[in-house]
Amino acid sequence: MNDLTGRGPVFDPQELERLLVARQNAGDVDGMTALFEPDAVLDCGGGRLVRGRDAIRSLYVEGIAAGRKFAMGEQRPALICGDLAMTSTRLPDGDVTTEVARRQTDGSWLWVIDRYAVS
């Protein structure tokens, strides 16, 4: 398990969501961004795609500055197949997030695809 302040590797894809929310609540944009592969893609909805850590970081900086907070929802068990894992959370408003994580060479997990909530 990874602590909130540390930036150590995440060895359970199930921990990624919890860490993202906790780091956002702490205002830790770099910690949030560290949960993604360097060229990850994030689907914000409405046809808006954000690609790469720099762009993802900018998105999170904007969100924190605007006071947006991610809600902790009911996380589904990660579905793992080899070096890929699908993570998913049902948010309190009923929306569902879906992410794809990839196992890294050191055995840790990072998100490579993230789709924000879709009803």
Average pLDDT across the chain, whole number: 90
What is the value of pTM for the model shown?
0.89
Instruction: Answer for the pair 101, 109: CB distance below 8 angstroms, yes or no.
Output: yes
**50-80 confidence digits (pLDDT tens):** 999 999 999 999 989 998 888 888 999 999 9
Identify the band that residue 93 occupies on the pLDDT scale cut at 50, 70 and 90. Answer: confident
DSSP code at position 72: P
Q: Which of 107, 15, 21 is nearest to 63 (CA)?
A: 21
Report pLDDT for 116. Answer: 80
